[in-house]
């Protein structure tokens, strides 16, 4: 319990601590930030060891009073999926802070403060079990990320940061309305709670399992939540902020954006959309799966024609996260497990690709593919790391990407909710395209003779850069060769979720009769409701 | 008797200090600090009295508030929400006076009358909050407004200030005409000026005449003007731009809060009976009144935020944004439930901190009257003045409604109020309006943080105004993270309506 709280609050404390540092003393600032982040990672390991993966429910549950009058509490807890994502957050944050040491050369104090604040909020998103608290953290993330892109970003940073801010805020404000509606509805009409309002996630989930919201309303709530999450993922038509944000953000920002922030969207889809609106999710599954498949192919095709390495990796994210969404909305154990492991994979490999791009950018101050060529001769060690990340992203068997993609496609293939093989077949072409664009890029950057004289004197990676890359490589191989270690953590909670969904599909939990009864009850009890219906 | 006296002590004390401050001014013309200190002490003492009556209200020690046997003859309510708002007005006054010391000195207009006028306007606001009588409401609004007219034109030598004062005065007088005519019609149709009795009359089931509704409509127009709600908001940008910056901050927060509590007091009894009452004429019922206010609210949010998009002057931008915030606040009145009133109480508190804070920052950076007011003047502020820029960013993010700042929770509560009372569409309009507002609030942050500073170095002196900025920042963050403190008090205070 204490360990989880420390994992959450230590970065915040660190951020406040940095406030009192002298601006000029950059070395101390860097090492303090890194130390805090690393310590958080170690403490999160304690959380991991205390985690019982056989238990499908929420563990480390902690509740504190916060705003009792609307029953919004400080409620946190972990299940399998959030455990994995929590580990990913602490791990990637530590790596990112280490990687920023030389890349950030102005206003370091603010940068590391923002970063630790970001880590605090991200951790909060993955462990909060209260809709209000979740939204609280979800929105806090906007602030540091906005500043990270806007202050330390590239040439078009202002455009990118504003686009990022507005896209995300638009989605989340509709989610806010949905949260209020949901809290009021469940509090007043299902639970009849003392305050007529609740945002307790577990309470709402259990209540809705027995008395589902009428499907007409559920559709709107589903859309309001899904819009916010799909923008964050980003799913196909909402993805346009991502390439700009990624390209303009500093390396650290890109890594954390790809590594953790995008996962918040997919996490939200599983945690809130599937759990709270199962009927609507079943109804919408094919449409969202189609968007995911389109995203897979579209992202891959657009990546192929990019001339900027970073933009290429950014578009590949659109493609890879398509697999995650496809896996989630296949609503099978394989698909879901694949999606969860793919979230981790994407965080590791794409994060590492961005790190590599950042390293080469620091040396050459360009990311144009045409400027490179023959890097393998000057930077052999770097080439090996880049190759591992690239192959992991392609999905080479034995490396991590393969496991995730295989599982999600398997899930989509035999999903009782999607009823079609087409998803898998089209998604599979995305894997082929991935091989094409990544290998082609790799070839153009790394192989061949050194055509550009500027590339001749490049130094190979230094000790600190080794330290950032090696831990990721270890996990890339670990997941690739023995995925069971990771799959086991989320196994039981995923199975419990899928079981619930299947029960609902087979009609055992969802009866229309029940709906109408509860509807009538509502109308009798609340005159406002009648008035609303009349309006 | 003694206890009754305790509850109206805030009004008595503020009136005493307001009037005596003028006298003191006459004797100490040369020492500016005396008037400043005296009014500050007066406000603190009043705040303590108000806080004590909040304490009494929370512990349910309020006398039944509209009996003829009381010393106020039922014209003035005791404690409850009124006490809550008394504290609010006092804090707004304290913050404004602290911020204006340096500002007025820079404009060579540090006259002690300024402070006594602020105290006087607060006494008007308190009367509004305590009113249980249409005439007391009118007197309160007039005391407040006339003080504001003078305050708006306080920098006599500035054309803009004079223009603001004149414009405010003419339009304000016009709106007051509507208000008093409405009050007359309400009296004519019900035979009473006691709001509670009118409420009882409305809900008693007797046939209500058309004149009553016309009167109510005129009162709504008059109050909408004071709140600066669409379509009666046009004065706000000009007046806020022209008047002294600190005064603009004060008018747009405390003045707005006072008009809103007046709105609540008048409309609450009229809106309680629902559509079941068959003998009302079809188009006039509480549903219609609610709908009208909902439309005003929706229009106010949209117009305010859309107009703010194109402003280049920061005071105008803040003025339009204050119009938009009045729209959010009106959602609580539409709801007319406990959660709506709590929402208004919380949001006015949060809004007070962020708006006065923002205006104070503007006043600190302002060179002389009218200088350094363009958005572009804020370029690179984070490099030249990191602390000021950080606080301004906090206020902007809070106004946008981003957690962990207080503005977010206020919005959440008002959305909840609208949704709870069946006005989901209004909440969705509010969401759309907030989305529009994101753009202009973060544009200021872009200027401060992402752009390079202008060539001319901005020099600002350290002054006592920083204290106001500090209080505001602390308030915005603290009440953003722990909102339940205010909600607890306001909930207990508004229980008075349940009796």
Number of helices followed by number of strands (H, E) in chain A: 24, 2
Torsion, CA B122, CA B124, CA B125, CA B129, rounded to 10? 130
What's the DSSP call for residue B462? Answer: -
Q: Which residues of A touch B415 (CB under 8 A)?
A: 176-177, 180
> Which pLDDT does position B490 carry in this prediction?
86
Asked if A250 contacts A148 with a C-beta cutoff of 8 angstroms, the reply is: yes
Q: Report the alpha-carbon angle A198-B424-A173, nearest 5.
A: 70
Q: Which residues of A touch B376 (CB under 8 A)?
A: none
Residues in Cβ contact with A453 at an 8 Å cutoff, skipping those fewer than 6 apart = none
Using the Cβ of A180 and the Cβ atoms of chain B, whether some distance falls under 8 Å is answered with yes
Domain count, chain A: 1
- Average pLDDT of span B102-124: 84
Q: Which two tokens stand for residue B2?
A: 């003694």
pLDDT tier for residue B41 given thresholds of 50, 70 and 90: very high
Alpha carbons B253 and B88: distance in angstroms, whole number: 10
pLDDT tier for residue B66 given thresholds of 50, 70 and 90: low
> Which pLDDT does position B323 carry in this prediction?
93
Alpha carbons B390 and B380: distance in angstroms, whole number: 12
Interface test with B, best of A108, A154, A176 (most B CBs within 10 A): A176
Alpha carbons B227 and B305: distance in angstroms, whole number: 16
Q: Which of B140, B132, B133, B55 is nearest to B89 (CA)?
A: B140
From residue B147, alpha-carbon distances to B127, B153, B171, B219 in Å are: 14, 10, 15, 21
A149, closest residue in chain B (CA to CA): B450
From residue B177, alpha-carbon distances to B185, B190, B221 in Å are: 12, 20, 10
Q: Which of A485, A320, A473, A325 is nearest to A399 (CA)?
A: A473
* Dihedral sign of CA atoms B445, B447, B453, B458 in order: negative
Using the Cβ of A529 and the Cβ atoms of chain B, whether some distance falls under 8 Å is answered with yes
Alpha carbons B16 and B27: distance in angstroms, whole number: 17
Q: Which residues of B touch A24 (CB under 8 A)?
A: none
Backbone angles phi, psi at A379, to 5 degrees: -130, 75
Torsion, CA B392, CA B397, CA B398, CA B403, rounded to 10? -140
Alpha carbons A268 and A275: distance in angstroms, whole number: 10
> Which pLDDT does position B472 carry in this prediction?
93
Backbone angles phi, psi at B267, to 5 degrees: -85, -25
Interface test with A, best of B394, B405, B417, B422 (most A CBs within 10 A): B422
> Which pLDDT does position B70 carry in this prediction?
65
Q: Which residues of A touch B435 (CB under 8 A)?
A: 166, 169-170, 173
Kindly tell me if the per-residue pLDDT of B144 is higher than 90.
Answer: yes
Residue the block writes with tokens 């950076």 = B365
Closest CB from A157, A173, A531 relative to B287: A531
Cβ distance B446 to A158 less than 8 Å, yes or no, reads: yes
Alpha carbons A284 and A418: distance in angstroms, whole number: 10
Domain that holds residue A250: 2-534
> Which of A85-99, B24-38, B444-458 is modeled with the greatest confidence?
A85-99
B451 HSE (CA, 13 A, CB side): 19
Interface test with B, best of A69, A109, A182 (most B CBs within 10 A): A69
The three-state secondary structure class of A239 is coil
A183, closest residue in chain B (CA to CA): B416
Q: Which of B74, B98, B85, B94 is nearest to B124 (CA)?
A: B85
Tell me if ipTM is over 0.90: no
Residue the block writes with tokens 């060179």 = B367
Q: What is the DSSP string of B355-382?
A: HHHHHHHHHHH--STTSS-BGGGGTTHH
Residues in Cβ contact with B344 at an 8 Å cutoff, skipping those fewer than 6 apart = B260, B261, B264, B329, B332, B333, B414
Question: Over chain A (535 residues), what is each successive 10-residue block's mean pLDDT?
Answer: 89 91 87 92 91 86 86 88 92 92 85 92 92 92 91 88 90 89 87 82 87 88 92 88 90 90 92 90 90 91 89 90 91 90 91 90 85 84 90 88 88 84 88 89 85 80 88 91 88 88 74 42 40 40
pLDDT tier for residue B63 given thresholds of 50, 70 and 90: low
Interface test with B, best of A23, A70, A178, A224 (most B CBs within 10 A): A70
Q: Which two tokens stand for residue A367?
A: 């990311």
Backbone angles phi, psi at A192, to 5 degrees: 50, 50
From residue A426, alpha-carbon distances to A293, A410, A413, A435 in Å are: 7, 13, 11, 15
Backbone angles phi, psi at A294, to 5 degrees: -60, -40
A132, closest residue in chain B (CA to CA): B412
Q: Which of A314, A441, A321 is nearest to A386 (CA)?
A: A441
Q: Report the alpha-carbon angle A416-A418-A420, nearest 5.
A: 100
Give A397's strand partners: A399
Q: At what angle do helices B338-365 and B465-481 cross, to 10 degrees?
A: 150
Number of residues in chain B = 499
> Which pLDDT does position B68 carry in this prediction?
58
| Percent above pLDDT 70 for chain B | 90
Backbone angles phi, psi at A74, to 5 degrees: -85, 90
Using the Cβ of A532 and the Cβ atoms of chain B, whether some distance falls under 8 Å is answered with yes
A135, closest residue in chain B (CA to CA): B403
Average pLDDT, chain B: 85
Q: Which residues of A touch B397 (CB under 8 A)?
A: 143
Asked if A227 contacts A234 with a C-beta cutoff of 8 angstroms, the reply is: no
Asked if A478 contacts A40 with a C-beta cutoff of 8 angstroms, the reply is: no
Cα radius of gyration (chain A):
23
How many other C-beta atoms are found inside a 10 Å radius of the C-beta of residue B168? 25
pLDDT tier for residue B455 given thresholds of 50, 70 and 90: low
* Dihedral sign of CA atoms A483, A356, A112, A268 in order: negative
Q: Report the alpha-carbon angle B373-A23-A147, nearest 5.
A: 55
Q: Which residues of B touch A135 (CB under 8 A)?
A: 403
How many other C-beta atoms are found inside a 10 Å radius of the C-beta of residue A159? 15
Cβ distance A176 to B412 less than 8 Å, yes or no, reads: yes
């Amino acid at each position: 319990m204490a360990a989880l709280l420390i994992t959450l609050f230590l970065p915040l404390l660190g951020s406040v601590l940095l406030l009192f540092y002298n601006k000029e003393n950059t070395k101390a600032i860097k090492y303090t930030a890194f130390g805090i982040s690393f310590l958080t990672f170690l403490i999160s390991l304690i959380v991991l060891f205390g985690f019982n993966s056989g238990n499908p429910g929420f563990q480390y549950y902690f509740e504190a009073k916060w705003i009792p009058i609307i029953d919004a509490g400080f409620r946190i807890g972990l299940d399998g999926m959030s455990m994995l994502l929590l580990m990913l957050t602490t791990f990637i944050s530590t790596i990112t802070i280490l990687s920023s040491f030389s890349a950030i050369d102005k206003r370091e104090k603010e940068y590391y403060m923002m970063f630790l604040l970001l880590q605090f909020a991200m951790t909060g998103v993955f462990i909060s079990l209260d809709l209000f608290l979740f939204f609280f953290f979800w929105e806090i993330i906007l602030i540091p990320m906005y500043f990270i892109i806007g202050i330390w970003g590239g040439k078009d940073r202002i455009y990118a940061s504003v686009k990022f801010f507005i896209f995300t805020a638009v989605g989340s404000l509709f989610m806010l309305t949905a949260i209020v509606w949901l809290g009021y509805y469940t509090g007043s009409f299902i639970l009849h709670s003392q305050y007529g309002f609740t945002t307790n996630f577990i309470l709402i989930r259990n209540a809705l399992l027995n008395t589902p919201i009428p499907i007409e309303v559920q559709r709107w709530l589903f859309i309001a939540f899904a819009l916010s999450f799909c923008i964050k993922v980003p799913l196909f038509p909402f993805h346009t902020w991502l390439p700009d944000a990624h390209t303009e953000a500093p390396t650290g920002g890109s890594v954390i954006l790809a590594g953790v922030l995008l996962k918040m969207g997919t996490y939200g889809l599983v945690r809130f959309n599937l759990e709270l609106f199962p009927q609507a999710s079943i109804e919408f599954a094919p449409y969202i799966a189609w968007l995911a498949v389109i995203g897979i192919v579209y992202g891959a095709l657009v990546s192929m024609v990019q001339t900027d390495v970073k933009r290429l990796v950014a578009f590949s994210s659109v493609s890879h996260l398509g697999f995650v969404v496809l896996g989630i909305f296949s609503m099978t154990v394989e698909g879901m497990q694949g999606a969860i492991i793919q979230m981790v994979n994407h965080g590791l490999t794409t994060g590492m690709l961005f790190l590599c791009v950042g390293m080469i950018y620091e040396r050459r101050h360009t990311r144009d593919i045409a400027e490179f060529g023959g890097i393998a001769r000057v930077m052999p060690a770097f080439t090996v790391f880049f190759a591992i990340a690239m192959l992991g992203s392609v999905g080479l068997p034995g490396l991590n990407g393969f496991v995730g993609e295989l599982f999600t496609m398997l899930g989509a293939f035999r999903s009782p909710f999607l009823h079609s093989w087409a998803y898998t077949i089209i998604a599979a072409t995305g894997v082929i395209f991935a091989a094409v664009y990544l290998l082609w890029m790799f070839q153009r950057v790394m192989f061949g003779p050194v055509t550009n004289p500027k590339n001749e004197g490049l130094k190979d990676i230094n000790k600190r850069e080794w330290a950032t890359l090696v831990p990721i490589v270890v996990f890339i191989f670990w997941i690739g060769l023995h995925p069971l270690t990771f799959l086991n953590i989320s196994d039981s909670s995923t199975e419990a979720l899928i079981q619930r969904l299947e029960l609902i599909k087979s009609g055992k939990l969802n009866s229309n009769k029940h709906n109408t009864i509860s509807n009538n009850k509502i109308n009798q009890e609340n005159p406002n409701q009648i008035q609303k219906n009349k309006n | 008797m003694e206890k009754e006296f305790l509850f109206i002590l805030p009004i008595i004390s503020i009136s005493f200090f307001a009037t005596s401050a003028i006298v003191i001014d006459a004797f100490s013309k040369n020492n500016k600090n005396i008037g400043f200190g005296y009014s500050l002490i007066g406000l603190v003492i009043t705040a303590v009295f108000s806080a004590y009556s909040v304490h009494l209200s929370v512990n349910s020690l309020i006398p039944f508030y509209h009996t003829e046997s009381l010393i106020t003859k039922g014209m003035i309510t005791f404690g409850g929400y009124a006490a809550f708002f008394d504290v609010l007005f006092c804090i707004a006054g304290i913050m404004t006076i602290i911020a204006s010391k340096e500002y007025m000195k820079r404009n060579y207009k540090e006259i002690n009358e300024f402070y006594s006028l602020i105290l006087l306007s607060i006494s008007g606001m308190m009367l509004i909050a305590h009113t249980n009588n249409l005439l007391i409401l009118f007197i309160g609004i007039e005391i407040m407004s006339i003080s504001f007219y003078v305050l708006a034109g306080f920098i006599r030598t500035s054309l803009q200030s004079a223009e603001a004062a004149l414009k405010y005065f003419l339009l304000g007088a016009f709106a007051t005409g509507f208000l008093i005519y409405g009050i007359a019609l309400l009296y004519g149709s019900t035979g009473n000026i006691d709001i509670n009795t009118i409420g009882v009359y409305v809900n008693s089931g007797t046939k209500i005449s058309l004149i009553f509704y016309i009167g109510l409509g005129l009162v709504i127009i008059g109050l909408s003007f004071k709140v600066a709600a669409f379509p009666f908001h046009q004065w706000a940008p000009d007046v806020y731009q022209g008047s002294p910056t600190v005064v603009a901050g004060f008018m747009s927060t405390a003045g707005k809060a006072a008009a809103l509590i007046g709105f609540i007091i008048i409309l609450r009894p009229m809106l309680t009976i629902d559509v079941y009452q068959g003998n009302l004429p079809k188009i006039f019922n509480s549903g219609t009144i609610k709908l009208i206010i909902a439309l005003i609210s929706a229009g106010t949010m949209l117009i305010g935020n859309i107009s703010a998009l194109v402003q280049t002057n920061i005071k105008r931008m803040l003025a339009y944004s204050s119009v938009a915030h009045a729209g959010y606040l009106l959602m609580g009145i539409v709801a007319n439930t406990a959660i709506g009133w709590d929402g208004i109480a919380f949001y006015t508190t949060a809004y007070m901190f962020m708006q006065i804070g923002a205006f104070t920052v503007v006043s600190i950076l302002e060179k002389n009257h009218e200088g350094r007011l363009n958005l572009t003047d804020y370029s690179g502020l984070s490099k030249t003045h990191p602390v000021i820029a950080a606080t301004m960013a906090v206020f902007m993010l809070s106004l946008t409604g981003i957690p962990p700042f207080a503005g977010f929770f206020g919005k959440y509560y008002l959305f909840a109020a609208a949704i709870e009372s069946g006005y989901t569409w209004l909440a969705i309009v509010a969401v759309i309006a907030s989305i529009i507002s994101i753009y202009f609030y973060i544009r200021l942050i872009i200027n401060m943080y992402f752009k390079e500073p202008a060539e001319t170095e901005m020099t600002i002196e350290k002054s006592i105004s920083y204290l106001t900025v500090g209080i505001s920042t602390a308030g915005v963050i603290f009440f953003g993270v722990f909102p339940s403190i205010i909600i607890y008090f306001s909930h207990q205070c508004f229980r008075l309506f349940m009796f």
